[in-house]
Amino acid sequence: MSPNYMRSFSEGCLRPPTVIGQFHTLFFGSVRMFFLGVLGFAVYGNEALHFSCDPDKREVNLFCYNQFRPITPQVFWALQLVIVLVPGAFFHLYAACKSIKQEDILQKSFYAGFYMFSVFLRIILEAVAFWLQIQLFGFKVNAIYMCDVGALEKKFNITRCMVPEHLEKTIFLIAMYTFTVITVVLCIAEIFEISCRRLGILKSQ
C-alpha cells in the first residue's frame, strides 16, 4: 500500500466525518485506552501472585485462580477494544483505497450507508462485549471466592480463597461498564447526526 493510502487511512481513523465520531475517537483513544492501560495494570497486574487459598499451596492457588479467572480482565478488555475498532478501520481502509475524501463520505448515499453500517457493527460488538463481561465478571468482586477443588482429589471439595483488592476491582468493573455504555450512546448519537446531515437538518462540516 502506498504512503498516500496509509496517510488517508490514518487521517480517516483519527478524524471521522462526523463531529460525534471525532469525539468518540478522542474518548476511545485517550480516556478509555489510558484508563485500561495504566489503571488496569495497577489494579490487576499482580492479582495472580496475591490470590491465596486455604490451604495456601501453589497448586491449589493456581488451580483456583484459573477457575476464578477463565480470562483475565485486561486481556478481555484489550480484545474488546481491538475488535470494536475493526469495523471503523475496515471502512477507512476502503475509503483510502477508493481515494474518498472525508468530507465526501456523507454526501453520497452509498458511502454514508456503508459508514453507518460500520457504526451499527460497533454498537453490536459493544453490546456483545457488555453481555460477555456480565457473564465472566458480574458487577461485583467478592472478598472470598469459594473454589471447587474436587478435580485435585482433595479431602474437601470446596476451599476458601482470598481475592486481593476486591473493592478496587469492583470500582474498575463499574467504570468499564460505564465506558461501554458511553461508547454505545456516542455511536447512536453519531448515527443520528449522519441521518440529520443526510436530511439537511444539520449543515455539513
Give per-residue pLDDT as tens, 167-188: 888 998 998 899 889 889 988 9
Task: Return the higher-pLDDT residue of 136 and 1.
Answer: 136
- The pLDDT of residue 132: 93
Q: What are phi and psi of 150, to 5 degrees?
A: -60, -30
pLDDT confidence bin for 10, thresholds 50/70/90: low
Give the tens place of pLDDT for each residue, 83-141: 888 888 888 777 777 777 777 777 777 878 888 898 999 999 999 999 999 999 889 98
User: Residue holding cell 481491538?
Assistant: 82
pTM tops 0.85: no
If we measure between CA atoms, which residue out of 25, 6, 2 comes closest to residue 14?
Answer: 25
CA 136 to each of CA 43, 67, 95: distance values in angstroms, whole numbers, following the listed order: 17, 11, 37
Task: Return the higher-pLDDT residue of 160 and 23.
Answer: 160
Fold adopted by 3-198:
de novo design (two linked rop proteins) (1.20.1440)
- The pLDDT of residue 130: 93
Give the tens place of pLDDT for each residue, 12-68: 555 677 788 877 777 776 777 787 777 777 777 778 888 888 877 888 888 888 888
pLDDT confidence bin for 196, thresholds 50/70/90: confident
Return the DSSP state at 105: T
